[in-house]
Amino acid sequence: MSGVITRQQRGLLPLLIASVLWGVWTTGEKYSLGGLSVVTLLAIALAASAGLLWTILLCKGHERPSRSQLKLLALLGLFEPMLGYGAIGLGLAYIDATEAALLDGTEACFIVALAAFVNRRLPTGRAVAGVVLATAGVALLGGPRADLGLSAGSLLVLGGSLAAAIATIIAGRVVLDMEPLVVTAYQFGFGLLFTLPLLIWQWGTNGSALTASVRSSHWLVAAVVCGCGLGVAYLLYNHSITRLSVSAAGIILNIIPVFGVAAAIVFLGESINAWQFIGAALIVGGIFLFSEADKDE
């Protein structure tokens, strides 16, 4: 019993740090968008994270994936990080980081809902309650209105969360025989490859790749916080997930939106009103219910 407890303790801190990094990532994205375009920011972040992951992978050595596995890894890279993080970045251009962090947390709800659809099984009562709470929370983020009143930015962030959830479902079903580090390195490598043509097109057509207020700090945050921070978060996650119980991991990962909101308040000076606070509580509550439903299956 003591050995199990020790192993859980060793996995707890790395996963907690990973959750903080994922939460801070949204704030870093919002800040960097003050001087960089979405495509430029995405390319910098993916180049930094893919470079970190591939450096570690090449040092450790690995067996090259088969052609069929490469196709699946390319599909993963398309959905996440390219489409997922790209859509969230576009959404952040229109909404605050606090709201984006909360909406990004709905990925857990999408994962459970998609899993139920793919497996052709009706969702549990907890899953239904979770989607009701999360949907009500999303509605209240915009204030006391009769409809959802979602802006284009909010819809883009939700779309990014959906893309990430699709990638998670794909990864869980078709690459179980591959090491997590190998999957993540190739996934981010393909994500970068898919992003480069957009970057070249934007810079080649004199698009708004930079703003007049771009500073060196925008580049630094994009590379270190959004790029290397993302890579480190995935490495810590891969290290911890085999050392923790499902319930312990779920609780820590589900509070990522809380870290995201806290980072936006501390570093960007944002704030949340009473309606957003209630909405945040409902979203987090819905995420926890979805996590519990997922464990019951």
Looking at residue 258, its amino acid is V
pLDDT digit string (tens) for 166-191? 887 887 766 667 888 888 899 999 99
Looking at residue 269, its amino acid is G
The pLDDT assigned to 4 comes to 40
Q: Is residue 2 in some structural domain?
A: no
CA dist list (Å): 246 to 11, 176, 253, 254, 267: 12, 17, 10, 12, 32
The pLDDT assigned to 11 comes to 60
Segments in the chain below pLDDT 70: 1-11, 108, 112, 122-124, 127, 138-139, 141-150, 173-176, 206-212, 241-254, 287, 290-297
- Residue 193 near residue 73, CB atoms below 8 Å: no
The pLDDT assigned to 250 comes to 55
Burial environment of residue 117 by CB neighbours within 10 A (0 to 12, 13 to 18, 19 or more):
exposed
Domain range for residue 131? Answer: 7-296
Roughly what angle, to the nearest 10 degrees, separates helices 152-174 and 84-92?
A: 160
The pLDDT assigned to 207 comes to 56
The pLDDT assigned to 83 comes to 95
- Alpha-helical runs (H) found in the chain: 2-32, 38-60, 67-77, 84-92, 97-104, 107-118, 125-140, 152-174, 180-204, 216-221, 229-240, 246-253, 256-268, 274-296
The pLDDT assigned to 3 comes to 41
The pLDDT assigned to 31 comes to 95
Q: Is residue 1 in some structural domain?
A: no
The pLDDT assigned to 136 comes to 75
The pLDDT assigned to 244 comes to 62
Counting the structural domains of the chain, the total is 1
CA dist list (Å): 78 to 137, 187, 242: 29, 8, 26
Joined tokens for residue 47: 């180049």
